[in-house]
Amino acid sequence: MKIALAQLNYTIADFEGNASRITEAIGKAKDNGADLVVFSELAICGYPPDDLLDYPHFIEQCEASLNRICSHAAGIAVIVGCPVGNRSEKGRKLYNAAFVLENGRISQVVHKTLLPTYDVFDEARYFEQNDVFDLVSLNGKKIALTICEDLWDSMDSFNYKSDPLEFLINQSPDLIINISASPFNKNKKDDRYKVLRHDAATFKMPLVYVNQVGAHNDLIFDGHSLVLNNDGTVAMEMPSFAESIAVYDTELNYPGNELREDDDTELLHRALVFGLSDYFRKMGFKKAVIGSSGGIDSAVVQALASEALGADNVTAVLMPSQFSSKGSVDDARKLSETLGNPYHVIPIEGIFHAFAESLKPLFRDLPFNVAEENIQARSRAVLLMAISNKFGDILLNTSNKSEMSVGYTTLYGDMCGSLSVMGDVYKTDVFRLAAYINRKGVIIPEEIIRKAPSAELRPDQKDSDSLPEYHILDAILELYIEGRMSPAGIVKKGFEKQTVEKTIQMVNRNEYKRYQAPPILRVTSKAFGRGRIIPLVSKW
């Protein structure tokens, strides 16, 4: 049997667009002689639809799109994901389902068994768990059809009570097909392969895995669909961050390969550019505006946005204060000229003095402190938002994960923006991204990369005045946030106790700021936002 893997980019609730993509792919699969074409989890409505699933007319539109697609299942079988109602009076109102379409009709429906409720997932909020296990028969092949998480029981950390694949394996299938919506993080590729390889090798049968591609709000889906041989080696590997259709023939012998290795920084760069581009495309945005400080964070975001959107569509705004060094302003100009971005210089010294004069009766002779520093950051945010409102340019936030973790950011200041491009990227990775961007020639001036990081909100300010050196800070943060390790456990790793305790105190104390942050492109296993939900008020 020839199986086409359709790795497509869907838009949530774009029923017309999604159905057109699917039917077009069915036509291409037919042209390539496929007997079966497989699409990803909840492809008809896009994943994750979240609380749209609570609207009856949303489900009605899903059903209408499914019927439209069903009419194209002539001369080829189709497997496609779609929510479906639960006819029982008990349990959730919906199932997360895979539909098998043949000869213009629905021949079988398979429901998802394991409903993830961790990290960014909350499927048990909407869906009922499957308890019926039957194989799908197509073209003389018996298929164990599963949906995403149904294969992940082999991960010890999840400890599911049941393994749906075992129920299906007992019925002696010929191959496994898994339709998925598995979001990207920089370590997910290896974890995913470990699961798929385990299942293929354990049950000694080929495994076809079809994942969606695309950015949905904060989540980035990389695609990277796979076919594994019955020994767990790779028979077919599809690209990351791109739509693609490939045909696998069950009657052919495919040489067993290892998974393609990617450079970590290159993968991170591709994910961020893709996430930015897809966010703008799906939201109907064209142009972005960025506050360009002459620092490395804004420089990397400016370079990423220029690649994602086109240099002409990214406007840089330089807003020097009395504390900005001439070098920072010159470096910011140089960056815009190298990238080919339009840019404007709007000094804020006068604005700052106007605020200071207005507050003078209240502040009297109190010393300069964080209040005056934040006035500068908020003055810049007001200017950037004014430009965004006037011209329709979307403000991109340039804060990194290290700063957001410890609250080294200003609410309604440098935290403003419609999208946080690097809010899930630690500062040490920002430097690696800068080096990668400069791999073929200098784009980000070396002066920006070499200079000591500084907010430049007071004379001779350096980040290291308030924070540990970034290589130490980031290591502690990663152990605490991604690793969920205790302070004592981190100290045992060799870090100084006072530094660890101060860092974790800053993380916990600044949760209120992250509650008000813009959506963050997720590239790690524990991004701020829906992936890390911490009580705002607690004694933790």
Annotated active-site positions, please? 41, 112, 148
Least Cα distance to 501 among 491, 511, 512 occurs for: 491
Which residues are CB-contacts of 297 (< 8 A; sequence separation ≥ 6)? 398, 399, 400, 403, 422, 427, 430
**Rounded CA gap, 241 and 212, in Å?**
9
Pairing mode of beta strands 94-102, 77-85:
antiparallel
**Rounded CA gap, 483 and 256, in Å?**
34
Provide the 3-class DSSP secondary structure of residue 62. Answer: helix
Least Cα distance to 530 among 121, 51, 54 occurs for: 121
User: DSSP assignment of 251-285, as one string?
Assistant: TSPPPPBPPPP--HHHHHHHHHHHHHHHHHHHHT-
User: DSSP assignment of 390-425, as one string?
Assistant: HH-PEEEE---HHHHHHT-S-TTTTT-SSEESSTTS
> What burial class does residue 420 get, using C-beta atoms within 10 Å of its C-beta: 0-12 exposed, 13-18 middle, 19+ buried?
buried
Least Cα distance to 299 among 505, 450, 449 occurs for: 449
Residue 138: in which H helix or E strand, if any?
strand 136-138
Residues written for the chain: 540
Least Cα distance to 150 among 114, 106, 98, 96 occurs for: 114
Q: Which residue has the tokens 């998974």?
A: 259
Please answer whether residues 265 and 246 qualify as being in contact, where contact means their C-beta atoms are separated by less than 8 angstroms.
Answer: no
**Rounded CA gap, 268 and 449, in Å?**
18
- Name the token pair of 103: 């000869």
